[in-house]
Amino acid sequence: MSAEDNAAGGSEESNFVPKHKSSSIIWMYFGFRKDDVDQSEVLCKSCLAKIATKHGNTTNLFHHLKQHHRVLHDECMTLKQTPGTSQSSLKRPKQTMIADALGSVTPYESTSNRHKVITESITYHLAKDMVPVYTVSKEGFKNMVHTLDKRYKIPSRTHFSQVAIPKLYNECKMNVESELREIDNFATTTDLWSSRTTEPYISLTLHFITTNFELKTRCLQTSFFPGEHTGDNIAQEMRGALADWDLKEDQQVCVTTDNASNMIKALEVNGWTRLQCFGHRLHLAIENAVKGDNRISRATGVCKKLVCHFSHSWKKRVALDQAQKRLNLPVHGLITECQTRWGSRVLMINRILEQQKALHEVLSEDRNTRHLILGHQDLDVLESVSKALGPLLEFTDALSGEDYVSVSHIKPVLNLFNTTILAPEEDDTDMTKSLKKKMLEYMNSKYEDRVTQELLDVASFLDPRYKTQYISVNDVPNIRARLVSEMKTMEHKHSVESTRVEEVSPPPTKKAKKSLASFFKKSTASATVPIDPTAAIEAELSAYLLSSTIDNEEDPLLWWRTHKVNFPRLSNMARKYLCMQATSSPSERIFSASGNIVSCERSCLKPDMVNKLVFLAKNL
């Protein structure tokens, strides 16, 4: 009997009714149609064959099973010999498909394609989602995999840690290497970090724009760095990292780092261009502005104690929740400040100002907590700080992205600080004005460096949203001259490379007889006037500046993808400079991923495995 017949029989089985007042096991396999009221035609539930019987005789039924359904006959005989079994005490399950019956018994070979695909999928899940390898040995995971595919036998955790993950790492590394061979220029970010076990690591992320104008980020390494964290050692480590990936130093546009002195020294030793992290610089500007003001220190200190009190008392949190509902305030919890994130301090202050009435009501009910009630002077201080720092929150987040162009925003943001955000207003308190003035002076002084200014000017110039809008009129000629020089150098380099390709002589061919048209072609070619490359580059620059700017919400990379035919040389400059990162957040995200991998349960991971797992989590 074929599988199709089995399937047809299984679908028809529900249309049968059993024989009236019959207890024989055989009637589990035979029956009558529902419309056969007299039960005159006995039909096989498997093949729908009509069986001749008289007066309830079941001999022909057993004979039919034995001749045509051997497996069912053996099953029936086994049930018949079991004491106490009858049709009423047993309910026959649907007939199993042949493929399912074999599949539930025979596991996949480890070399089969299906087994490889499932194993690779599990490996991808472990690496991409930063899941511990020992997950594969847990009963719940095994049960889930068995439910999804009963024929798949999951390998041991040793196989995944020593075979599958290293194999996936090598494959992913080869893909990244092939990508890096196609790039002309790149930018990097780097930072230092210590794991839960105080093991030091140094990260390196690489950023580049493809020929199709897609901004891509690749994590190159999270390597163990046990030596002294001096500038010389860091410089040597970073130089070695580029060499390991066969990257040339002259292809690197700049390195975005924080303001650590050893990082600054390392880049000076290597002679690399450094771009200071905008986020760290803004953090230092805020810390410098609030430093030394006892009023701010006292008010923020009370806020911290207040948040800590509600964090450790469940009753107080319930009371706060009830007070918020009575006063029609948003039901929000308090926010804890993180010392290394100035934005968390602003969020903490804003939340306390929002819930001030509810907090006052809850704290005043208990004599022991009344000292935490904020006075009018403290509230005035907090409102002044919030007004000065609040508008800056969004800029750090906006400039920390790595999936879109961010470096060209720095000049417009600094201009916005000077003209709007940090400009004094009439209703500002003296404290707000003082904070704004200190932050603005600090930021302007730190971006006065000529190298940094020129780098930011070039990036802004190449962004079709801004062009020369935020560049000083006196600096525009210098930017044009720099771009002309670089484009001439790049064009000369490409011409030399193409000449080398042409010098490879083709195999000799039989000399063809000249046609009359060839003489005219030769004379025309000899009369062609060579084009001055400098004039062509200048014309391209002028045409770019004359083109209209795009909306600030549009993607500059999409614009360059569309107009690279019109600006072939300048588009290469855009690919070179717009890949720079405004902040070192990509490296910090690497450490966030590392913290998820080197968790308390996985604190014994070796540095080499940490590097592989972080690499896979960020690059898959």
When pLDDT is cut at 50, 70 and 90, the band that residue 103 belongs to is low
- Tokens encoding 588: 């910090």
Amino acid at 177: E
Q: How many CA atoms lie within 13 A of 240 on its CB side?
A: 11
The per-residue pLDDT for 14 is 63
pLDDT at site 494: 65
- Most confident by average pLDDT, 13-17, 103-107, 125-129, 292-296: 125-129
Q: 182-277+584-619: what CATH class?
A: alpha beta
Span 265-281, mean pLDDT? 92
**Alpha-helical segments (H) within 462-532:** 476-503, 516-526
Following DSSP, what letter does each residue of 423-491 receive, concatenated? Answer: S--TT--HHHHHHHHHHHHHHHHHT--HHHHHHHHHHHHT-TTTTTTTS-TTTHHHHHHHHHHHHHHHH
The alpha carbon of residue 435 and the mean position of all alpha carbons in its chain are separated, in whole angstroms, by: 36
pLDDT tens string 548-578 = 999 988 999 999 999 999 999 999 999 999 9
Average the pLDDT over each of 87-96, 347-356, 527-536, 541-550 and give the range with the smallest value.
Answer: 87-96
Best mean pLDDT range from 16-20, 91-95, 125-129: 125-129
pLDDT tens digits, one per residue of 574-588: 999 999 999 998 988
CA atoms within 13 A on the CB side of 301: 7
* 142-194 pLDDT per residue, tens: 999 999 999 999 999 999 999 999 999 999 999 999 999 999 999 999 999 88
CA 294 to chain centre: 42
The average pLDDT across 304-309 equals 90
Q: What is the DSSP letter of 373?
A: S
Q: How confident is the model at residue 595 (pLDDT cuts 50, 70, 90)?
A: confident
Query: What pLDDT was estimated at residue 509?
Result: 57
Q: What is the pLDDT of residue 128?
A: 93
Averaged over 99-112, what is the pLDDT?
73
Give me the sheet containing 42-44, strands edge to edge: 16-17, 30-33, 42-44, 50-51
**What's the rounded Cα separation, in Å, for the pair 539 and 316?**
71
Bridge partners, 257 (sequence order): 276
Provide the 3-class DSSP secondary structure of residue 109: coil
User: Is 70 exceeded by the pLDDT of residue 513?
Assistant: no
Average pLDDT estimate for 315-327: 90
d(CA 317, CA 358) in angstroms, rounded, equals: 11
What tens digit of pLDDT does each residue of 492-508 get?
Answer: 776 665 555 455 555 55
Mean per-residue pLDDT for 534-555? Answer: 90
- The arithmetic mean of pLDDT across residues 6-27, rounded, is 66
pLDDT at position 97: 59
Q: How far apart are CA 373 and CA 306, in angstroms?
A: 8
pLDDT, average across residues 19-28: 79
The percent of residues in the chain predicted with pLDDT above 70, rounded, is 87
Rounded Cα distance, 609 and 168, in Å: 12
Least confident window among 168-177, 189-198, 247-256, 270-279: 189-198
Distance CA 59, CA 52 (A): 10
Please give the distance of CA 493 from its chain centroid, rounded to a whole number: 36
Residue 223 pairs in a beta bridge with 202
Asked if residues 273 and 254 have their Cβ atoms less than 8 Å apart, the reply is yes
Q: Is the pLDDT of residue 516 over 80?
A: no
Query: pLDDT value at position 172?
Result: 95
CA 521 to the chain's CA centroid? 56
Q: CA 227, 231, 236: angle at the middle one, nearest 5?
A: 70
Q: Are the C-beta atoms of residues 225 and 191 closer than 8 Å to each other?
A: no
Tell me the sheet residues that pair with 222.
203
Give the burial class of 209: count Cβ atoms within 10 A of its Cβ; 0-12 exposed, 13-18 middle, 19 or more buried.
buried
Write down the pLDDT at residue 239. Answer: 93
SS3 content of the chain, % helix, strand, coil (to 5): 60, 10, 35
pLDDT at 495: 65
Please indicate whether residue 535 or residue 171 has the higher confidence score (pLDDT): 171
Q: Which residue has the higher pLDDT, 533 or 470?
A: 470
**Helices (H), strands (E): how many in the chain?**
27, 9
Residue 279, number of CB atoms within 10 A of its CB: 22
Whether 24 has a pLDDT exceeding 70, the answer reads: yes
Quote the CA–CA distance of 476 and 411 in Å, as a whole number.
14
Q: For the residues of 185-254, what is the DSSP string, one character each?
A: -EEEEEEEEE-TT--EEEEEEEEEE-TT--EEEEEEEEEE--S---HHHHHHHHHHHHHHTT--GGGEEE
Q: What's the one-letter identity of residue 236? A: Q
Specify the pTM: 0.76
d(CA 399, CA 584): 10
Are 83 and 102 in contact by the 8 Å Cβ rule? The answer is no
446-468 pLDDT, tens digit per residue, is 888 899 999 999 999 999 999 99
Phi, psi of 252, deg, nearest 5:
-80, 120
**Arithmetic mean of pLDDT over the chain:** 85
What is the C-alpha to C-alpha distance for residues 617 and 620, in angstroms, rounded to an integer? 6
Which alpha helices (DSSP H) does 312-355 contain, by range? 314-326, 342-354
For residues 498 and 488, give the distance between their C-alpha atoms in angstroms, rounded to a whole number. 15
Count Cβ atoms below 10 Å from residue 304 Cβ, excluding itself.
Answer: 13
Cα distance from N-terminal residue to C-terminal residue, the chain: 49
Of 81-95, 109-123, 236-250, 258-272, which gets the smallest average pLDDT? 81-95
pLDDT of residue 5: 45
Task: Write down the pLDDT at residue 263.
Answer: 92
Contact call for residues 122 and 154 (beta carbons, < 8 A): yes
Task: Measure the CA–CA gap between 52 and 165, rounded to whole angstroms.
Answer: 64
